[in-house]
Amino acid sequence: MDATLFQRKHQLWLRIAFLSFAVNNPSIKNRLYEFSQIEFRHLKWVAGSLYENNVSYNYERDPLFSIESESFFTLVRTTINEIKSLHLIYDEIPLGERMRSDENYMLSTLNAYLEKISLDEILSAFNRSLNWPDALLSARETDALALFLFEELYKEYELIMVYFYRQIRATTASQVSHFQDLMDESHFHLRSFAEMMTKMGILSLPRTLHSRTYEITDMEKFLRGGIIEEENAKEECRRLSSSITDEKLSAFFEFINYQESYHSEIMKKLLGEF
């Protein structure tokens, strides 16, 4: 098991997650998102094994890696091919057998989709329409919403991967629990923002993280900075909420705002662990 496996599993998690964000069929969307969460657990187990064996890994992605296509079936076929290629490099160990077994079921599900021509659809997630379909927004409101979503999608991905990195290196059960709570919250925010981007035709991958972002050496400094960042995120939510006249959107951002508030409390608990 080496760092190449981590990179490819990282990409597979992103591929399945963003495929779930892009597709419109509710039952397919939910099943694919469940699969992406299974892949994220695989990724955590791979990272843990690499760390235990002193094998370094990073969050780099293949420069040609892309999640965009106009066709749902095209992305399904790409996902199938990626999974099959991964099966060629899994070690014959319990973890490799577990991942292969999980993905064999995923393959059967994906192949079953391809057998139903009616399930294919033209994906509008990447068409750059820049239009919010659920309410009439002004050009200023639309631009503000799009900018916010791009920034927040990257921020939530960054937080997931930073907390992920630190959870692998946690030294107490309390640390593991706190980092898991923070990751779970960021997964929900990532999904929410990504599906809003899909509605606007602007879904895209967050940019790749540099190792300086997640290789934290001073955790106390990082957590104190994180508390300040959460306050800034709350302010961004408040600003966007007040600038958009649609009540449903404003209520959603107020909801996110209050969740960000409790993240600061979790970080304060973590501060006592370092």
149-167 pLDDT tens trace: 999 999 999 999 999 999 9
Alpha-carbon dihedral angle through residues 215, 218, 220, 224, given to the nearest 10 degrees: -70
Q: How far apart are CA 152 and CA 257, in angstroms?
A: 12
DSSP 33: H
Per-residue pLDDT at 39 exceeds 80: yes
Q: What is the pLDDT of residue 123?
A: 95
The mean pLDDT value for 133-162 works out to: 91
Per DSSP (E only), the strands in 32-157 are: none
Q: What is the pLDDT of residue 270?
A: 85
Q: What is the pLDDT of residue 249?
A: 87
Contacts of 39 (CB under 8 A, 6+ apart): 9, 12, 13, 16, 17
pLDDT band at 38 (very low <50, low <70, confident <90, very high): very high
- Determine contact, residues 10/57, Cβ cutoff 8 Å: no
Q: How far apart are CA 57 and CA 43, in angstroms?
A: 12
pLDDT in tens, 8-18: 999 999 999 99
Q: What is the pLDDT of residue 226?
A: 80
Q: What is the pLDDT of residue 124?
A: 95
Q: How far apart are CA 65 and CA 238, in angstroms?
A: 35
Q: How far apart are CA 230 and CA 220, in angstroms?
A: 15
Q: What does each C-alpha distance from 259 to 80, 108, 151, 189, 255 come to in angstroms? A: 36, 37, 17, 10, 7
Q: What is the pLDDT of residue 239?
A: 76
Per-residue pLDDT at 274 exceeds 80: no
